[in-house]
Structure 1
Amino acid sequence: MLGKNRVIFPGEKVLLAVSGGPSSCSMLRQVQEGLSQNANKKLRFLPGIAYIDEGAVIGQSVDERQRTVSELQALFKATGFPFYILPLEQVLDLPSSVVATAPSPSERPATAYKAAVDHFVQSDGANLLTQPEELEEKPLPLVQESRTRLLQQLIGSVNTLTAREDLLNRLRQHLLVHTARTEGYSKLMLGDSCTRLAVKLLTSISLGRGAQLAQDTGFLDSRYGDIISVRPMRDYSAKEIAYYNHIFSVPSVVIPSLDTKKTDKASIQRLTEHFVTKLQADFPSTVSTIYRTGEKLQNACRKSSAGDHCDRCLLCMCTLDTAVEKASAFQATLISDQLSRTKSKGGSSTEIPRQSPGRPESAAPAGLCCSSAGGLDCGRSARGGGYCSSKVPETTDLKSLLCYSCTLTVRDMSTVKHLPQYILSEAQRRQSRSQMREEIAEFLLDDHDEGN
């Protein structure tokens, strides 16, 4: 898979996201085999391992989390690769740059890969890859109890298990991307199997992520610009991985998750997985058919400008699918939702507020400061209104910065105040920038005027 796509160049640093499950542990073992001297087709990149400890989300005690981390730490030490144990609480302290697209490296020509391989072999770089590093004994990361409570409040503010799993997936992705950037890795390798991607494809369609399927299930995911995610395990089914691990005695660690011991109808993700696996038992070509269908999907908005962050979702960093025409299925869905909400609240008015998709709503009425309720005045209202740094965006404000699927996730939250500060700060920045752009719109040149 890596040789066919040729996206990982020799000498690049690649971060392996290992969860301890069968698929990611199988990926780790195959990377070890590919870097060994006996491999027929040698791998030529520098691997590292990242594990995210999500024990706080599922209510594990400190001793249980330490026991799991110690078991995985022993497994990672045996590989000789550098590894990083990341408590999920670290996501609360990430910078706002995580949800901003970084400039992507310039595309290399097709002949550059062969030239890079020849140069790597001539420089005897293969010897550097086969020598295990002297890893320092790192103490297990300690997490403050206050940060654990904040994370539990965030997850607890989500009402449904479907939205909870979706939000957890976004936070996990943010932490992996930040770790890859800070540690100097240019590629992120995920262990999604063919079975997992088939379930994910149908789940994404059910959650309204049809426009993002190519990035969520494809081999290559470049939504973050400088960090490119790859899925080399996507050709293996879960059954094939289980046989491989059994034959070659690949160790794995059983770690509970949010949907452990839940019923099949507890969430959309759980129900879709039950549907696909049950259908696969009777019709063995089910997973491969779904997978091959998703393999043909392509992202229509691949060339979105990296400098303009406002056209990307605040959570999943995919291109916004809400900037559509008025006569569209999305607008019809919004109207139906607004009408049903008006009827459920018992309101007599059926007037539908008009709001352009992709544009933020105003934070406060004209002439009022966002901190005026506390008896303070930031002075922004005297200069024409706007936001101050102490303003926390409301749910209605965040919706204009989210794609349709992430809007449904945020709508299932009782409050957005528990979201990590880097998300709220980036929302504040985007809203202020959009409002400033509206204020000076008449002085800006259109695209067709730039050539004049």
Structure 2
Amino acid sequence: MCQVEEEYHEQLERVDAPGVSKKCAKCKEELAAVVIRAGDAYCRSCFRDSFIHKFRAMLGKTRVIFPGEKVLLAVSGGPSSCSMLSQVQEGVSQNAHKKLRFSPGIVYIDEGGAHGQSKEMKLKTTSELCEMFRSTGFPFYILPLEQVLDLPGSVVVAPSSPLDQPRSAYKAAVDLFLQSGSGRTDVMAQEQEGVSLPAIQESQTHLLQQLIGSAKTLTAKQDLLNTLRQHLLVHTARTRGYSKLMLGDNCTRLAVKLLTSITLGRGAQLAQDTGFSDCRYGDVVAVRPMREYSAKEIAYYNHMFKVPSVVIPSLDTKTPDKASIQRLTESFVTKLQADFPSTVSTIYRTGEKLQTTCRSSSAAEGTDRCLLCMCNLDTVVEEASALQATLISEQLSQSKVPHTSGQNSVKPEPTAAVGQCCSSEGPCGGPEGAVGCYSSPKQPEAAELRSLLCYSCQRTIRDMSSVHHLPHYVLSEAHRRQTWSAMREQISEFLLDDADEND
């Protein structure tokens, strides 16, 4: 055992921590100015070249963005998205070594109404962002989140699956782009279009706050907010003619998102939520070119090369670690990363190998995708599955044993017939016993809405006090799908199967 007066004759070995006195690991000449990982010490020039090369290489090896395409950059004001904007701005300039050949635009979603920010705070934030966006020369759009309440139903309609293009299509597009002379045109010379924050009525802000406030937990609020933001981004890209949506998710954020998604029951959607490209919306493909960068690497680059960013509070700002699943997972990963530097990279590399098994289904039906996240439904499984066992356990735990002793037992009140027409003037033409009226929209209940959602979105809806606070386009699309399913069930015996059509 250790004694107080015990003498130690041998000195303890101390591991030398990497410092700025070491040489650069790349050029071997200049002194290191930044240490990203153990053994990865770079000077200022080599760090900048490595940072830029990683961004260009990510876009080049994936070959998802074709020359001449319009790409919408989703900038939130944070360090990662602002660094992405800086890379694109430098990549489309005339003096760029390997010039980017797409036409960029910028969009910012103001979520201050959902957070309860004051008008002065929102005006200050938007003015700083407008000044940053004007300096780039790109067209930009600053939109309030309240506009998500007025979106059309086409946002959540299942799109047609994009056709897989051969590898030679990218090379042919590059040759055509260069032969047409577009390669010599400066992207920065395009006319800048700026859309500032429009005036928002207090009633719309109140409806948005009611929608977010209907979620009982912070976990459900953040999940619902992310879904609404994604809907507005996709709608903006479609209406403005952009075929690609560029997101600023970095490696650290994706590692946290991967573990969070597994916790929330989104294991079947991990490949789309954390992969480089996300094709769930069909005509608009979301890409994540910053997924190779860690948050530490981005912070160093922004500090060394003066990349501006804007600090904007969110729903989980100044909340404890156990306030939500997202917040707890983020705290767990960041604290583990401080002691074990390979934590984020290990999680990220594991998620990079995930793939989604695509089912061959008709895109015109629109019933095989989640109504909110637009991913393939993971609830269509066999009876003897873990999901069915979980649902049965929940139903049994929530069911109440009826009191049957004596004649004073409580009987359930008779409910209106499900197939009863909602029009008082006459029948709507729907068959008797149908699931709903075929002419007038009907507000779906929570139980009816869950059948159109994936397992994770079902958990979010279950944490809401009322589904009637959801946007109108979600409720109308839910009614359309339920009506379509009822009509298909009525004529199911007259329909031919795919096997019969092939014969």
Same fold (TM over 0.5): yes
Higher mean Cα deviation, 136-145 or 442-451?
A: 136-145
For residues 187 and 258 of structure 2, the distance between their equivalents in structure 1, rounded to whole angstroms, comes to: 37
2:336 aligned with 1:288, yes or no? Answer: no
With the length of structure 2 as denominator, give the TM-score of the two structures.
Answer: 0.83
For residues 136 and 74 of structure 1, the distance between their equivalents in structure 2, rounded to whole angstroms, comes to: 13
Equivalent residue letter for 2:257: K
Counterpart pick for 1:117 among 166, 169, 174: 174
With the length of structure 1 as denominator, give the TM-score of the two structures.
Answer: 0.92
Q: Which runs of 4+ in 1 moved over 4 A?
A: 136-139, 345-349
1:9-158 pair list within 5 angstroms: 9-135=66-192, 138-158=195-215
Q: 2:144 touches 2:197 (CA, 8 Å); kept in 1?
A: no
For residues 137 and 403 of structure 1, the distance between their equivalents in structure 2, rounded to whole angstroms, comes to: 37
2:396 aligned with 1:396, yes or no? Answer: no
Q: Relative contact order, CA 8 A, sep 6+: which one is greater?
A: 1
Alpha-carbon displacement from aligned partner over 1:212-270 (angstroms, at most 9, x marks no partner): 00000000100011110110000000000001111110000000000001110000000
Alpha-carbon displacement from aligned partner over 1:102-125 (angstroms, at most 9, x marks no partner): 234533221111121122123221
Equivalent residue letter for 1:449: D
1:435-450 pair list within 5 angstroms: 435-450=486-501
1:263-412 pair list within 5 angstroms: 263-301=320-358, 303-342=360-399, 345=400, 347=402, 365-366=417-418, 368-370=420-422, 376=424, 379-380=427-428, 383-384=431-432, 385=434, 386-387=436-437, 388-412=439-463
Equivalent residue letter for 1:379: P
Contiguous gaps of at least 5 residues in structure 2: 1-57, 405-414
Partner residue, 2:259: 202
For residues 443 and 7 of structure 1, the distance between their equivalents in structure 2, rounded to whole angstroms, comes to: 43
- Displacement of 1:62: 1.5
Contiguous gaps of at least 5 residues in structure 1: 350-362
Alpha-carbon displacement from aligned partner over 1:261-285 (angstroms, at most 9, x marks no partner): 1110000000000000000000000
Structure 1 residues 53 and 440, CA gap change in structure 2 (3 angstroms): same
Q: 1:225 touches 1:306 (CA, 8 Å); kept in 2?
A: no
Equivalent residue letter for 2:326: Q
Partner residue, 2:59: 2
2:476 aligned with 1:419, yes or no? Answer: no
Equivalent residue letter for 1:442: E
Q: 1:10 touches 1:120 (CA, 8 Å); kept in 2?
A: yes
Partner residue, 1:192: 249
Equivalent residue letter for 2:427: G
- Displacement of 1:366: 4.6
- Displacement of 1:451: 1.4
Equivalent residue letter for 2:71: V
Q: 2:369 touches 2:376 (CA, 8 Å); kept in 1?
A: yes
- Displacement of 1:39: 1.8
RMSD in angstroms over aligned alpha carbons? 1.8
For residues 58 and 84 of structure 1, the distance between their equivalents in structure 2, rounded to whole angstroms, comes to: 21
For residues 378 and 154 of structure 1, the distance between their equivalents in structure 2, rounded to whole angstroms, comes to: 35
Equivalent residue letter for 2:172: A
- Displacement of 1:63: 1.8
